Structure 1
Amino acid sequence: MKVSNHLLAASAAPLPTRREDLLARLTEPQVWDLLVVGGGATGLGVAWQAAREGLKVALLEARDFAQGTSSRSTKLVHGGVRYLAQGHWPLVREALHERRGLLERAPHLAQPLAFVMPTYRRGEQAFYGAGLKLYECLAASVSLGKTRFLNAQMTQASIPGVRVEGLRGGVQYWDGQFDDARLALALARSAASKGACVVNRVSVQHLLYENGRVAGVRAQDAEQGQAFDLKAACVINATGVWVDDLRLADGHEQKQAMTRLVTLSQGVHLVVDASFWPGDKALLVPKTADGRVLFAVPWLGKVLLGTTDTARPDAPIEPRPASEEVDLILKEAGRYLKKAPRRSDVLSAWAGLRPLVRADSSSSDASGLTQKISREHHIEVSRAGLVTVTGGKWTTYSAMAQDVMQQARRLAGLKPAGRAVTENERLIGAPNAGEWHPQLTRPAGAHLYGSEQGWLEGLPGAQVVLAPGLTEAMVRFAARYEYARSVEDVLARRSRCLFLDATLAKALAPTVAQILRQELAIDPGQAAFEALAAEYAYCP
């Protein structure tokens, strides 16, 4: 297909992600300034920050970028409304500032979103409205919009899917939404564009030491099995819900004095057809019958319902929703949606684990709930010099990265290479200001590629539509420029099909596998993905 010159000129040519080249560079004899372990929001944010400063950075991800928590969020860029009631005002203020920065860095993948909180009881509107007005005031100059009080008629017109019986009014306020997995990819690719060596499917076997200090890692290529040593001035443990595994493997720590840093919370989300919540505004219920928060968020042409917040003792790679969690979301959604969803209406059901910083006051309560635990991040430096970062949330990934870099500079004497760093420098694919107006509430498509849309449309298969929002060219783009190595990589995180419609994703697996075999000449794991998709499609 011929692509117009102005589209191709909109961005630089995408940087290829040939695995042979990445591994060859990774294993060259050298000492990295910074070695980041973990390819979620936190680790990728650190790599991006360090690479922009001109440091020699390598990042290792054992599986795929954002495969864990960072692709399983509620897709919200927010300051944390619920933390106002807990008195965490500084945390909320920081998150609101970071919210604006995230939206500016990736306007093709993040945008403002209006939320409406319907009220059914006397005094609710005034009570919650005062809190949301405070939320707006804390945002100050980085506010995304005015908080408005709505009467019953205005509320019904604003969110036509809401239950009208007993409706007294509502409050509208603003937060943001985003595509979490694609933002992670944008961070990975942006770090690589600044010189970082970013590689997925390379695991850390153990830490290396020199004179009692952490000096690198023994790593292993998960695909070929090759093991190799990597030296670094500073090693960052940013492995999310699994940070304690590497901490407790630090051979130079006193094990009897160590406790686990994180406690885990499981959040479950259900996806249903847009007919259950028509329009482009989200629903917020601040307190359900059991004290949790309920969202109905229009996202990529579907509606996301969630979330639960339940303590979990283990950290599986693929957490699954419990039957009672599914029932809880459907029951609460049925109380507020005009059209109540049933199990048979669920297109995809998935769960994510949140790493919450453990403290004396942060243990879950007797009910097993964890919604009172703060999402503030925590940085620990071990006696041997391993830097561990945990907690936090997507919205504040950049602030977390800056805090980590302060520790790394102090610990290893790292100095920026004199490269100027712009606070809200835009990520790969970000269009020029005012040039694009993507809507994350509408179905996925080429618009999510931002300024790289022209390069996408120049690939073979640009006109071959595999499913709404997915073309053959998108699969090829994922394999050539987005580190994709499997059917799951493509249909779960480069495309979000698995999270939107698991049955459709399973049906697409053979075609996607065939294209990946052409591009990569490897087994793309079709059978494993089909089994996974069957689990997402089935509500226990």
Structure 2
Amino acid sequence: MNREQLLERLARPATYDIAIIGGGATGLGVALDAAARGYSVVLVESHDFAKGTSSRATKLVHGGVRYLAQGNIALVREALQERTTLLRNAPHLAQPLPFVVPAYRFWETAFYGTGLKMYDALAGAAGLGGTEFLARAQVLDCLPTARPQGLRGGIKYWDGQFDDARLALALARTAAARGALLVNYCAATALRHEGGQVTGLVCRDQESGAVFELKARCVINAAGVWVDEFRQKDGEATGRPVHAMVAPSQGVHVVVDRDFLPGRHALMVPKTADGRVLFGVPWLGKVILGTTDTPRQDLPREPRPLRQELDFILHEAARYLARAPRPQDVRSVWVGLRPLVRPHGDNGEDTKALSREHTVLASRSGLVTVTGGKWTTYRAMAEDVLETCMGRGLIERTRAGVTTHLKLVGAPAAGGPLTPMSEAQGLHSYGSEAAAVLALPGADRELAPGLTEAMVRFAARHEYARTVEDMLGRRWRLLFLDARLADSLAQPVADILAQETGADPQLTAFRELASLYLQLPA
């Protein structure tokens, strides 16, 4: 369905069971769960799907080792179960990954090993592999570029990794295949109220300026770090005061070449100089180093790193790698804002202490807000949201959720060959849809290693892509991997998109964005 058809459908008079604001992991997860149960669903997203936080994760599907250290057993157990579900339902986009914790002090192997054995125990049958104690030589075999001086041994354990933006697209397309109407670049601008109750929303197409009024029995606010904006609108309409529930935290990620961490094992540092966790993750042919946890008060669409954050990541990496990454080695640097849940009255100064769990609230007017959580638990979050909607009588209770065993678009047949995600992105990223990509014009014309003209056409025709950023940032992850190379491909990609969509592919805006991903803070 092309964009004109989507907007035509959006304009038809209808009362939806559920209207969703926000096309990130949470909103898309709710849309899929609701559509799979048979509800009529509409979702609008002001920018592109997963444009914000949901494309800027550390690419890990995990239970949360540091949450175990904090004693949050329930969160870890739930996430470990959901980890297995995600890996099963989208094996082309999420796969197991071995991690190594190098030990440089005599007590570290036993201390961290004990915790990771507990991690295994909590996973139970959902475990991906047992934790192993490694000798010094075994650590260097797994992490050839680990700093050898003082290395005593280490621990190997298993978690998962994924392609966040492409998983978001798979959720959107799977929901659409079950009848949901999802429209990106269509911003919710207001809530509709009748008799003190929320009865829908008003949205505006960002390309044409067309305004649509949508009626719905239940409106779900899944706008991530921006949920308080709509809670405030609801409060103003009903005359009730609203306290902010989100304390944003900034996470910075630095990308360098694979020769800094070759092989298929990730590096995990459980306690850096300031008590955080640091990862070095092989992903799509590069290595992601991160992340930070810095409070901020504003909510920019393109947050930028602070100098001390970049210095922190590079300094900590230098403590564990034989060759330390330097600023000139950075291929791309990007930032995500986490929607951490603020306890009532908290000033949000220490985001490491705030809740990583999700929260679902229903206002007196019936607006249901969900925020917090993490990618790994998106499916469980969606179930909790719908349970709240049914419990409040906003929608009729139907059959139980069916997403536990629901394969996402592109999931290959069980037992099919999979290319490790540590390798460069390629046709394998499309899973069972690879043949459909090969059938399009330009399948034999390569724009860059692994990227063909046909892939751009597929993104425009089937994956909601409208702009160069959509293609090179989220359908193909080059902006996040090598911003300079992405900039060099912007013109041919723009030409193909313009031909396919007839819309402005926003070439200049993308080039400005690519320069930001290369620009290191002063």
TM-score when normalising by structure 2: 0.98
Contact 1:64 1:489 in 2 (8 A): yes
Find the counterpart in structure 1 of residue 355 from structure 2.
374
Contact 1:112 1:176 in 2 (8 A): yes
Change in 2 beyond 3 A, CA 1:131/1:361 = farther
Contact 1:108 1:436 in 2 (8 A): no
Aligned-residue offset at 1:419:
9.0
Aligned-residue offset at 1:373:
2.2
Q: Does 1:213 align with 2:207?
A: no
Measured in 1, the distance between the counterparts of 2:414 and 2:252 equals 35
What is the count of residue pairs matched by the alignment? 520
Contact 1:238 1:390 in 2 (8 A): yes
Candidates 464, 467, 479, aligned match of 2:448: 467
After TM superposition, the runs of 4+ consecutive aligned structure 1 residues lying more than 6 A away are none
Q: Does 1:490 align with 2:463?
A: no
Q: Does 1:243 align with 2:227?
A: yes
Q: Does 1:72 align with 2:53?
A: no
- Please show how residues 416-427 of structure 1 align to structure 2 within 5 Å: 421=402, 423-427=404-408
Candidates 297, 312, 321, aligned match of 2:305: 321
Change in 2 beyond 3 A, CA 1:104/1:271 = same
Q: Does 1:31 align with 2:15?
A: yes
Measured in 2, the distance between the counterparts of 1:446 and 1:116 equals 29
Measured in 1, the distance between the counterparts of 2:319 and 2:269 equals 10
- Three-state SS of the structure 1 residue aligned to 2:408 is coil
Aligned-residue offset at 1:90:
0.7
Letter in 1 for 2:40: K
Find the counterpart in structure 1 of residue 127 from structure 2.
143
Find the counterpart in structure 2 of residue 452 from structure 1.
433
Measured in 2, the distance between the counterparts of 1:168 and 1:378 equals 42
- Three-state SS of the structure 2 residue aligned to 1:371 is helix
Contact 1:52 1:421 in 2 (8 A): yes
Find the counterpart in structure 1 of residue 75 from structure 2.
91
Find the counterpart in structure 2 of residue 194 from structure 1.
178
Measured in 2, the distance between the counterparts of 1:353 and 1:74 equals 12
Measured in 2, the distance between the counterparts of 1:117 and 1:254 equals 53
Measured in 1, the distance between the counterparts of 2:18 and 2:417 equals 35
- Three-state SS of the structure 1 residue aligned to 2:155 is strand
Q: Deviations over 1:429-480 (max 9, x none)?
A: 0011111312111000000100000000000111111112211111000000
- Please show how residues 510-525 of structure 1 align to structure 2 within 5 Å: 510-525=491-506
Letter in 2 for 1:402: E
Q: Deviations over 1:214-256 (max 9, x none)?
A: 000111111100112100000000000000000011134444x
- Please show how residues 316-395 of structure 1 align to structure 2 within 5 Å: 316-360=300-344, 364-365=348-349, 369-395=350-376
Candidates 139, 148, 164, aligned match of 1:164: 148
User: What 5-or-longer segments of structure 1 have no aligned partner?
Assistant: 1-16
CA-based RMSD of the aligned residues comes to 1.3
Measured in 2, the distance between the counterparts of 1:136 and 1:104 equals 18
Q: Deviations over 1:112-149 (max 9, x none)?
A: 00000000011111001000000010000100000000
Aligned-residue offset at 1:414:
2.3
- Please show how residues 404-415 of structure 1 align to structure 2 within 5 Å: 404-415=385-396
Aligned-residue offset at 1:54:
0.7
- Three-state SS of the structure 2 residue aligned to 1:249 is helix
Measured in 1, the distance between the counterparts of 2:346 and 2:80 equals 23
- Three-state SS of the structure 2 residue aligned to 1:513 is helix
Find the counterpart in structure 2 of residue 185 from structure 1.
169
TM-score when normalising by structure 1: 0.94
Contact 2:318 2:325 in 1 (8 A): yes
Contact 1:347 1:537 in 2 (8 A): yes
- Three-state SS of the structure 2 residue aligned to 1:272 is strand
- Three-state SS of the structure 2 residue aligned to 1:36 is strand
Aligned-residue offset at 1:338:
1.1
- Three-state SS of the structure 1 residue aligned to 2:125 is helix
Find the counterpart in structure 1 of residue 481 from structure 2.
500
Contact 2:10 2:212 in 1 (8 A): no
Letter in 2 for 1:186: A
Contact 1:253 1:382 in 2 (8 A): no
Change in 2 beyond 3 A, CA 1:138/1:348 = same
Measured in 2, the distance between the counterparts of 1:42 and 1:331 equals 34
Contact 1:52 1:419 in 2 (8 A): no
